[in-house]
Structure 1
Amino acid sequence: MLVLAALTESDYRFNALRRRVDGVSERMLAQTLQTLERDGLIVRTVLETIPPKVEYSLTPLGREVGSRLTDLIELIEGSMPAVLEARAEHDAR
């Protein structure tokens, strides 16, 4: 989900995306990108440069899913004060 959320901001090359998604290993990022591409959420574009470079971007489906994911993230972040209050009340029992 973090990779998809990052790609809602911009297209990224592999290493830039790895820096953007804090704590992800190179192997896990590669597997995640392959899965997202297979699922039709991202497209992998090989840029005609020397040396060749690869860029990842969202497909129309990926943009739709990413938009809803961003909405969910904002809802969760906005709800944190209520969550923390509920935790404090629960823990005080």
Structure 2
Amino acid sequence: MTDLCDMYQKKLPVELECGLHLFLEVMNGKWKLNLIWCIYSGIKRPGELQRRIPKASRRLLDTQLKQLTDQGIITKTIFDQRPAKVEYALTALGESLIPVIEVTARWGEDNREVLEPLFQSPAS
């Protein structure tokens, strides 16, 4: 059975001329930053990640975890035991994203008063 992730081909080539494009290509995915932060915070198992990010489907999380693994941001260790056990960890490349995530989160907090009203639903 062919994995849908393997069948998908991008319609547009990845822009390699600019570091920002490379960064955005790696971070392209709604839950990738959350996954990286959770793993950094000590949440290593798929079930724990699912409980921490309940709005995301398990399938979507699995897809984005595979992408992060393929991109060298995280590693996946499969333990030879029953029941099966899988753990994720950040690579050195993944660890290098932590300061970027912290600065980005700080920017969001510093600008919460301006930004939050833009994303709230109008009162019924």
Same fold (TM over 0.5): yes
Q: Equivalent residue for 1:90? A: none
* Residue ranges of structure 2 left out of the alignment (5+ in a row): 1-32, 119-124
Instruction: Name the CA distance, whole Å, in 1 between partners of 2:54 and 2:84.
Output: 25
What root-mean-square deviation, in Å, do the aligned CA atoms of Structure 1 and Structure 2 show? 2.1
Structure having the higher helix fraction is 1
The structure showing larger relative contact order (alpha-carbon pairs under 8 Å, at least 6 residues apart) is: 1
Structure having the higher strand fraction is 1
Percent of residue pairs identical? 28
- Name the TM-score, length of structure 1 as normaliser: 0.79
Q: Equivalent residue for 2:77? A: 45
* Residue ranges of structure 1 left out of the alignment (5+ in a row): 88-93
Q: How far off its partner does 1:67 sit?
A: 2.9
Runs of 4+ in 1 over 6 A off after TM superposition: none
Q: Secondary structure at the match of 2:63?
A: helix
Distance 1:4 1:63, change over 3 A: same
* Structure 1 residue 58 corresponds to structure 2 residue 93: no
Q: Equivalent residue for 1:13? A: 45
Aligned length: 86
Q: Secondary structure at the match of 1:12?
A: coil
Instruction: Name the CA distance, whole Å, in 1 between partners of 2:37 and 2:105.
Output: 9
- Name the TM-score, length of structure 2 as normaliser: 0.61
